[in-house]
Amino acid sequence: MKRISTRVLMGCTALLLTGQACTDLTEKTFDVLPTSGSFGSTPAQQAALIGPLYSGLGDYFGNMNELNTTTDEQMVPTRGGDWKDGDNWLRLYTHTWGPVTDNGQFNGRWTWCYNNITAINQQLPTATDQTLIAELRTLRAFFHYQAMDLFGNVIISERLGGATPTQSTRPQVYAWVEKELLEAYPNLSETVGGAFYGRMNKWVADMILAKLYLNAQVYTGTPQWQKAIERCNNIINSGKFSLAGDFFSNFTTQNQGSPEIILATPFSSTKRGGMNIQMRTLHYLNQLTYNLGGQPWNGYCTVTEFYNTFANNDIRKQMWIVGQQFRADGTPLQDDGVPMVFTPEIPSFVLPAGAPGRLAGARSQKYQIQRNNPFNDQDNDFVIYRLADVYLMRAEANLRLNNTAAAVADANIIRRRAGVPEYTAGTLTLNEMLAERGRELAWEYHRRQDLIRFGQYTRTWRFKPASQEFRNLFPIPNDQLALNPNLKQNPGY
């Protein structure tokens, strides 16, 4: 049985969040409630109610993976008639999306944030335990942070009801998120793992604040590099986390034990589905490679130039699948009589029908592909935040403050594990810092934010012309504009 005792998203949610093990099967019934209140009136009951809120956090992977195709590290080419989808993937990749044409794409992300915020606001007034209140405020701040990062000027939602919500500026939302996290911080748990695996604690709050400060110049016009360093220091100096000796152990089907993970969303092939990156990236016939119950969809691959940023001796390059593919018994596979060989080269965004088009592009195996899996969903937990990112954030902030020696020291911690030559003061430039973040954090959905911070999100790359600066923000969804007259569309749309 896979880590039931640590999963807030599984059937034992209530037991997990009150610190009990799932082997205690004593039934507690709540069909008769006290006349003075309802279920949720005690701290233990309140804790039991937050499991569904973390199910919303579990949708992070499903909401962010498609938006990663707006970056230079991931694409979904049209393969004959496959993956055309009304040119949705082409518009995302080339930054030609629109608020009406792609309303569903962006409305889904907006409602993901605000549906979860509303659910938290429903529970917060009933909470009495200070640690629980701090945890809920931190989770609510996380969703506001996501909305601000994606859409810019958004709604600050602190309570239910009232007048039609108004739109706040991005600096106002930034200030509110910072305030919420700093006020909640003293009461947050310092526990890592166990019942707090996948939940908001003090170190997750530090991570959100570090991200907030790292991108402060984008959000507010004022850089906050030193504040980012201080939050990274909190995490590193806590002693709660350490780099995994094996880079890929962070992404195995049993990755919950990684000492590097700061925040992950738990998944299970049978109890909490949704982790299906292997279906999105593998070729149809890779079903025979891994003995899968379902046929993969042959979509996502990495951009050729991004693949080429990995040196051959970089351990992390093994995250990409290239070359001849085989059946589980070792027999070479063929696609319509053509050797089934993945090539990093992608000759065009719209590929012709036939084997060459189906085989173009390196595929991802960063998250271990679960062999003999009868389900489309896997057991890997999706990693939102991990320690390697903290070292790289601190390195970048120090580099921007001209603390080059400190930046080199942190970046080389990551380089050594990757098995590649270490940086010197002369070789670690800002452009190289961005490239190293790409190699370490590929397909972990930090790339859009990184490119924007480095001023490179709107530049030209393969099959994508230069785009206008307003594309650094996604449009306020058309559905939301129709529902709320107080919302104004982002400039350019």
Same domain, 59 and 166: yes
Phi, psi (rounded to 5 degrees) for 263: -145, 125
Same domain, 262 and 394: yes
- Of 357, 381, 405, the residue at which a domain comes to its end is 381
Residue 134 in domain: yes
Average the pLDDT over 43-64 and give the result. Answer: 85
Residue 493 in domain: no
pLDDT at residue 40 tops 70: no
Alpha-carbon distance 362 to 415, whole Å? Answer: 23
Average the pLDDT over 119-146 and give the result. Answer: 96
Phi, psi (rounded to 5 degrees) for 333: -90, 150
- Of 361, 381, 401, the residue at which a domain comes to its end is 381
* Number of domains within the chain: 2
Average the pLDDT over 200-207 and give the result. Answer: 98
Same domain, 194 and 323: no
Residue 210 in domain: yes
Residue 105 in domain: yes
Alpha-carbon distance 366 to 318, whole Å? Answer: 8
**From residue 344, how far is each of 112, 253, 299, 361, 484 by CA, in Å?**
34, 26, 14, 4, 46
Residue 31 in domain: no
Which is more confidently placed, 28 or 491?
491
pLDDT at residue 27 tops 90: no
What would the pLDDT profile of 338-348 be if each residue is shown by its tens digit?
Answer: 999 999 999 99
pLDDT computed for residue 34 by the predictor: 35
Same domain, 366 and 399: no
Same domain, 140 and 86: yes
What the block records as the tokens of 16 is 């997990």
Residue 18 in domain: yes
Q: Reduce the DSSP state of residue 334 to 3 states and report it.
A: strand
Q: Where are the extended beta strands (E) located within 245-378?
A: 261-265, 320-321, 323-324, 334-335, 338-339, 341-342, 350-351, 363-364
What the block records as the tokens of 184 is 């909640």
What would the pLDDT profile of 244-300 be if each residue is shown by its tens digit?
Answer: 999 999 999 999 999 999 999 999 999 999 999 999 999 999 999 999 999 999 999
Residue 488 in domain: no
The domain of 460 spans 4-26+37-269+383-483
Beta bridge partners of 320: 364
Planar angle of CA 204, 448, 267, nearest 5 degrees = 50
pLDDT at residue 492 tops 90: yes
pLDDT computed for residue 107 by the predictor: 98
What would the pLDDT profile of 424-449 be if each residue is shown by its tens digit?
Answer: 999 999 999 999 999 999 999 999 99
Residue 47 in domain: yes
Q: Which of 20-29, 93-102, 158-167, 189-198 has the lowest mean pLDDT?
A: 20-29
Q: What is the DSSP letter of 162?
A: S
pLDDT at residue 46 tops 80: no
Same domain, 254 and 376: no
pLDDT at residue 9 tops 80: no
Which CATH number does the domain housing residue 194 bear? 1.25.40.390
Residue 47 pLDDT grade (very low, low, confident, very high; cuts 50, 70, 90): low
Same domain, 418 and 475: yes
Residue 36 pLDDT grade (very low, low, confident, very high; cuts 50, 70, 90): very low
- Of 355, 381, 407, the residue at which a domain comes to its end is 381
